Amino acid sequence: MIKWGISSGTPADSYYEIRSDCTDDVPKSKFKIKAGKTLSVRKWQAAFNPDGCLDIASVLSRIQKGGVHPTVRGEVWEFLLGCFDPRSTFDEREEIRQIRRLQYARWKEECKEMDSHVGSGKVITAPLITEDGRPIKDPLVLLEATSNQNTSEGASTSNHNGIEVDESAERITDKQIIEWKLTLHQIGLDVLRTDRTMVFYENKENLSKLWDILAVYAWIDKDVGYCQGMSDLCSPMIVLLNDEADAFWCFEKLMRRLRGNFRCTDQSVGVANQLQHLASIIQVLDPKLHDHLETLGGGDYLFAFRMFMVLFRREVSFGDSLYLWEV
């Protein structure tokens, strides 16, 4: 059973500043940082031996008692998510980190070659391409990517099914590239809605980091691509880790566990099995509640779809959701 620690301690959300005009719109944090229970900076540093090997058992025990202190959360999560083996040394982890950063840089450059908006510091929120591969001539989009330029000059356009396309640009024929580019504006729309109450995302650089990571991931994981909800899962990585590549790899490790949730067919949704398990558990633990939900037409438990899809990110405060993930 989760004990929120209401009686004393510092609220975790004090480390994740909320915009002054949004304080009434977000859930109040219940989890509090408690001395002697929460994994502190001192306890975290003491868990390493001189070579850098981590006593993961003692760390997990402390986390289960009181979560992780926000000041070391990013470092701790790299181990919890499986980015690093607890038995690795300081030198081994640094070597792995540099290799991963180079790999992310290569993937990002590959995406940038396909679409120059990647890495531009902008967030694209309008379609860039038609379903048959014709680049869209949309000044609102192009002005985002090429500021201080008159994008309407010197371009040949035509109307294609009610959409103005740029005839001077080469038509794309690769189906995978078309599918990827079709998702970029949806990523942008979701990024602008993600954790919008946080001061952190008033910085456009942080928004563009989130967009870039999701765009790159959508390209390398072609089976899943991008789906709504992924921005909620990726956002904590941007907040906790300063380096964009490090944040990407934490997100990639998380998605290895959760990508099945985003696999949907005409017959089932990705979290269908979890919803069925929830129904079975409630039927045993609280049969009256289960029967009541059945009467209301909620026996399929689809009301819990979002909870499972984004791991309660939208049901509780930012700090509380991170604590739930940890324990």
* CA distances to 266, 287, 304 from 193, in Å: 27, 37, 21
Query: Alpha carbon 207 to chain centroid distance?
Result: 12
State residue 57's pLDDT score: 97
In 185-290, the DSSP E strands lie at none
Burial of 148 (0-12, 13-18, 19+ CB in 10 A): exposed
What is the spatial distance between Cα 261 and Cα 116, in angstroms, rounded to a whole number?
30
Contact 76, 44 (CB under 8 A): yes
State residue 171's pLDDT score: 83
Apex CA 45: angle with CA 43 and CA 46, to 5°?
A: 60
Burial of 317 (0-12, 13-18, 19+ CB in 10 A): buried
What tokens does 60 get?
């997990």
State residue 168's pLDDT score: 57
The one-letter code for the residue type at 52 is G
Nearest to 185 by CA among 266, 115, 96: 115
Apex CA 181: angle with CA 257 and CA 307, to 5°?
A: 35
Using DSSP's 3-state secondary structure scheme, residue 129 falls into strand
Domains and CATH numbers, the chain: 139-243 (1.10.8.270), 263-326 (no CATH)
State residue 143's pLDDT score: 39
* Tens place of pLDDT per residue across the chain (327 aa): 444 444 456 777 778 999 999 888 888 888 888 888 999 999 999 999 999 999 999 999 999 999 999 999 999 999 999 999 999 999 999 999 999 999 999 999 999 999 999 999 989 898 888 888 888 875 344 435 444 444 444 445 555 555 566 555 678 889 999 999 999 999 999 999 999 999 999 999 999 999 999 999 999 999 999 999 999 999 999 999 999 999 999 999 999 999 888 876 666 667 788 888 888 999 999 999 999 999 988 888 888 888 888 898 989 999 999 999 998
Q: Is the pTM of this model over 0.95?
A: no
